Structure 1
Amino acid sequence: MTTGLQIALLGGALLAGGIVLLAWRLIPAQPDLADVLRRNSPEGVKEQAAADTAAAAGEGFAERLGVWALRRFPTRVWGRTPTKELALLRIPLHRYYGEKVVFALVGLLFPSLLSYFLAVSGIQVPVAIPLLGSLGLAAGLFFLPDLNARDDARKARQEFSRALGAYSDLVALERLGGAGARQAMELAAEIGDSWVFRRLSEELSRSRWNGKAPWDALHALSDELGLPELAELADVMRLSKEGSQVYTQLRARSEGLRSARLSEELSSANSASERLSIPIGLLAVMFVVIMITPSMLNLMGGL
């Protein structure tokens, strides 16, 4: 049974939390200089414009909640944002923030709802258990989108590296056929239909219209997405502008990418084989124990 003391403690905690939130809202805060500069930087203005566009387009609940959180909360509340991972996956920042808030709310409410259903069923749970469980689960689920973004970005980078080897071969063949550096890069990007080739084609087309060299555009894309292999390809194509024959270098680069991917896949396969040997060994031990147990019992009974 819930005692009067527990009700009083819960009511006092809610009242104190309300007073703290009201004071936090009304007292003028000292703005974080780094946060202010980031919000007024070109990247911050672009993020805010994307959030306003999403709000005007009437996106889902998580996106609208992310727009609200983006406007209300300072950057330090979110911790380290995986900016490169989100850019690689093309996840808007307001959607990412919205997912974090939704996950935190789910973690905050689930233990309380569970304790309520247990109380209805006649099982009394101390107030501290759902309270601490809500805070712990909310904190854990708050960082779950970070783990998901980093895991998805790792897989996307592996796919990008695999496709970049084929793209290097195509650029080398175009250069061997007499195409110029920009033309070879653009024609090679139009051949593939995967998201990697489409991303390269978009960046090269954008560089044509803004007057930027294609290798500089790929360098900027490499820095934005965290893809060092793409920066190396851009350096090789920059040499072609200076009259260097890059066919051999491009083919060697593609071979190096394929060899690196093969080594990673072999290492992954070896790790999987080692993990598989553990349950097989345990199964063998259990089989031996089952086989010798009757004999041991008979021997002990005879003694």
Structure 2
Amino acid sequence: MTPPTLMSMMIAGGLIGLGLALLVIWFTPAQPDLNDAVKRLSNTSPHRPDAEASTVNGKERLGIWAMRTLPVGLWAKTPTRELALLRIPLARFYGDKLTYAALGFVIPIGLATFLSLLGLGLPFAMPVIACIALAVVMFFLPNYNAIDDAKKARIEFNRALGAYIDLVALERTNGSGVRQAMETAAGIGDSWVFNRLAEELNRSRWSGLPPWDALHALATELGLPDLDDFADIMRLSGEEGTATYATLRARSAAMRTAMLNDELTEANAIGERMSIPGSLLGVIFMAILLTPSLLRMIPG
């Protein structure tokens, strides 16, 4: 049996086994996690997924199976705060990681099979190394996507939070109480940030928690220091009766100044990167002009 034939048989067998395993996991009914169910039903839980996230799809079933079967150390560092901010269930995240890893493992096999059919056989070690390397790289790709998307979401959250703080300050000047001002301001906007704040405030009302404690828990869970500072201001106003209008307006102005400075820094960095191609073109043009003179100076 020739090596190409042996490699083709091994590749075919591996693909068949992988497909059967995925089919079994896909169609196996998923058993609910009791701890997760209790947290979702609890009124004091700071995080509650959307209604759309309650439906279990194929990736989540794969993730649930992996969480119960595979060792915990396999997942390395999980971006928990980023997933909570994006409202991505942990099972779906793990399912994405396994799906990406399987795709990275299959792509080199497909390319090696295609080349072998064309008569361009590769050494057996090359497809194996490529499969492992690409699978590892794509296994960590969902981590990068979650961190990058969460960074953008935090910037959007801070922008909306500045407007929300101004609205709360205006409600306080109109004579509204602390909770009423926070809930009324949260009901004005229709973005996901205002909806998230309104959801936490409504949950705190039904659970009997102070609204600033609910926002403290949300800020800790999602990694939002500006929201934590706002909760401290409202706690002082609610517990000690401190006047907060000037403090809230100063806080929102400081947030806008910080965001403006960050945008200016990013714009300067982009401008510097854009100057690099122009500099390279200038160097290439000078090289073209000087090359004939240098060649004439070299003795034949």
Asked if these proteins are the same fold (TM beyond 0.5), I'd say yes
Bigger relative CO (Cα 8 Å, ≥ 6 apart): 2
Deviation at 1:295, TM superposition (A): 4.6
Mark the CA change 1:233 to 1:56 in structure 2 (over 3 Å): closer, same or farther: closer
Which residue of structure 2 lines up, in the alignment, with residue 269 of structure 1?
267
Decide which of 235, 254, 257 is 2:255's aligned counterpart: 257
Runs of 4+ in 1 over 4 A off after TM superposition: 42-47, 53-58, 294-297
The alignment's C-alpha RMSD in Å is: 2.8
Aligned residues: percent identity? 54
Name which of structure 1's ranges 121-130 and 283-292 shifts more when overlaid on structure 2: 283-292
Mark the CA change 1:141 to 1:44 in structure 2 (over 3 Å): closer, same or farther: farther
Deviation at 1:72, TM superposition (A): 1.9
Which residue of structure 1 lines up, in the alignment, with residue 120 of structure 2?
123
Deviation at 1:158, TM superposition (A): 0.8
Matched-pair contact (CA < 8 Å) for 1:54–1:64 = no
5 Å matches for 1:49-128?
Answer: 57=55, 59=57, 61-128=58-125
Matched-pair contact (CA < 8 Å) for 2:81–2:221 = yes
* Residue 156, structure 1, aligned to residue 153, structure 2: yes
Decide which of 226, 230, 233 is 2:227's aligned counterpart: 230
TM superposition score normalised by structure 1: 0.81
Letter in 2 for 1:177: N
Please give the alpha-carbon distance, in whole angstroms, between the structure 2 residues aligned to 1:146 and 1:295. 54
Question: 2:106 is paired with a residue of what secondary structure?
Answer: helix
5 Å matches for 1:1-303?
Answer: 2-3=2-3, 42=35, 46=39, 57=55, 59=57, 61-241=58-238, 242-297=240-295, 299-300=296-297
Deviation at 1:302, TM superposition (A): 9.8
Matched-pair contact (CA < 8 Å) for 1:54–1:63 = no
Letter in 1 for 2:216: H
Which residue of structure 1 lines up, in the alignment, with residue 28 of structure 2?
none
Question: 2:242 is paired with a residue of what secondary structure?
Answer: coil
Post-superposition CA distance 1:23-49 (Å, at most 9, x none): xxxxxxxxxxxxxxxx88x558648xx
Q: Which runs of 5+ in 2 are unaligned?
A: 15-32, 41-47
Q: Figure out how many residues of one structure are paired with residues of the other and give that number.
A: 269
